[in-house]
């Protein structure tokens, strides 16, 4: 029977294949480098950096294997449909970098080398510029402070004077009753002077009745 798959798939030498996969590898490293430079959270993962490189490599190889063969493409979709990914991505930017790496690999595997090189470089440059100018960053940086305290009824909260001393604004986010009888308090806060955050936490920790005082950086609390 006439094999249309072999006819539609363009002939590639071993050199061409190595070059396209090699370019995907270089672009994967470039993308991971851009991610490291623009990452501003606390959940940095070396495994995720490696994943970005692997995705570019594997995707380029898959595209080379498929070529113009439609049957292979549908077979690949069927094979991928049984895969279940259980890793939860907390930052939408991490998801965008996955697509960034996949797209670079697809372009390399499809032979669109100029698109891969120019597109990946341009996107990386844009991300660096946005990072340098702090695009989307709010000047009124907020923090979250959490601590446990016993119920005090109508008495003035022990944290009130400390809040008034160090904070320009504070809003109660959550108050939860625990089985131990304590209350877990969560406040969204804004400092008068961020440099005083250490003294703020120290004073709260020394306050009678307050326990397990935690301060979270506002940048990690913003909606991505």
3-state secondary structure of 59: helix
State both tokens at 142: 């907020």
154 CB neighbour count, 10 Å cutoff: 4
Say whether pLDDT at 6 is over 50: no
* φ/ψ of residue 148, rounded to 5: -110, 145
Element (H, E) at 197: helix 197-206
- For residues 115 and 224, the model is more confident at 115
**pTM listed for this prediction:** 0.60
Say whether pLDDT at 8 is over 50: no
Residue ranges per structural domain of the chain: 4-132, 143-220
Say whether pLDDT at 92 is over 90: no
Element (H, E) at 190: strand 183-191
Would you place residue 57 in the very low, low, confident or very high pLDDT band (cuts 50, 70, 90)? very high
User: What integer is the mean pLDDT of 76-87?
Assistant: 56
Residue burial 95-104, b: 16+ Cβ < 10 Å; e: rest: eebbebbbbb
Say whether pLDDT at 131 is over 90: no
> Of the segments 66-70, 105-109, 123-127, 171-175, which one has the largest average pLDDT value?
123-127
148 CB neighbour count, 10 Å cutoff: 17
The CATH label, of 3.40.50.620, 3.30.70.260, 3.30.1330.10, 2.40.40.20, for the domain at 143-220 is 3.30.70.260
């Amino acid at each position: 029977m006439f094999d249309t798959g072999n006819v539609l798939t363009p002939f590639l030498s071993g050199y061409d294949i190595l070059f396209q996969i090699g370019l995907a590898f270089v672009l994967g490293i470039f993308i991971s480098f851009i991610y490291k430079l623009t990452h501003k959270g606390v959940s940095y993962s070396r495994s995720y950096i490696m994943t970005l490189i692997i995705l570019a490599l594997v995707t380029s190889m898959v595209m080379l294997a498929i070529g113009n063969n439609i049957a292979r493409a549908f077979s690949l979709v069927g094979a991928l449909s049984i895969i279940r990914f259980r890793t939860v991505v907390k930052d939408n930017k991490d998801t965008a970098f996955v697509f960034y790496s996949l797209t670079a690999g697809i372009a390399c595997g499809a032979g669109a080398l100029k698109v891969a090189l120019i597109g990946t470089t341009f996107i990386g440059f844009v991300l660096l510029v946005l990072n340098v100018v702090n695009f989307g960053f709010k000047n009124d940086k907020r923090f979250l402070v959490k601590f446990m305290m016993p119920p005090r009824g109508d008495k003035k909260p022990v944290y009130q004077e400390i809040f008034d001393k160090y904070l320009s604004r504070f809003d109660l986010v959550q108050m939860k009753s625990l089985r131990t009888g304590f209350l877990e308090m969560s406040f969204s806060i804004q400092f008068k002077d961020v440099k005083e955050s250490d003294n703020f936490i120290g004073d709260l920790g020394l306050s009678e009745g307050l326990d397990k005082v935690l301060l979270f950086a506002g940048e990690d609390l913003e909606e991505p």
